[in-house]
Amino acid sequence: MAHMGRDTIPLILLKEGEEGIIHLVLGGLGLISRLASMGMTSGMKLRVVRNMGGPLIVTTNGTRIAIGKGQAQKIVVRRLAAAKEKADLS
């Protein structure tokens, strides 16, 4: 994909517990503005809570959002240096 720089990856590749900054959202204006209104837009920090092959759960600004795999492929993020793995709950 042309939009992927060296250090940017689609959201779907972030693992659980990892954090990233949204670089850009590909896709139609509808998806972009829908995500923006929920706090997911360029420059926003997010954390992946759940990514187990199905839809993802991310938290951003205190909101948790479930997001389909297809959409997660269209969100390009810059991975943040591994946030300190908080004591894993399990």
Rounded to a whole number of angstroms, the minimum distance from the CB of residue 85 to another protein is 13
Query: Should residue 13 be labelled a site residue for another protein when binding is judged by CB under 8 A?
Result: no
**What dihedral do alpha carbons 70, 75, 76, 79 form, nearest 10°?**
-100
Please give the sequence-ordered ranges of beta strands (E in DSSP) within 1-90, or none if there are none.
Answer: 8-10, 19-25, 45-51, 56-60, 63-67, 75-79
Window 59-78: contact mask with another protein (x via CB under 8 A): --xxxxxxxx-xx-------
Which three-class secondary structure state does DSSP give residue 2? Answer: coil
Rounded to a whole number of angstroms, the minimum distance from the CB of residue 1 to another protein is 16
Choose which of 8, 21, 26, 39 interacts with another protein (CB under 8 A).
39
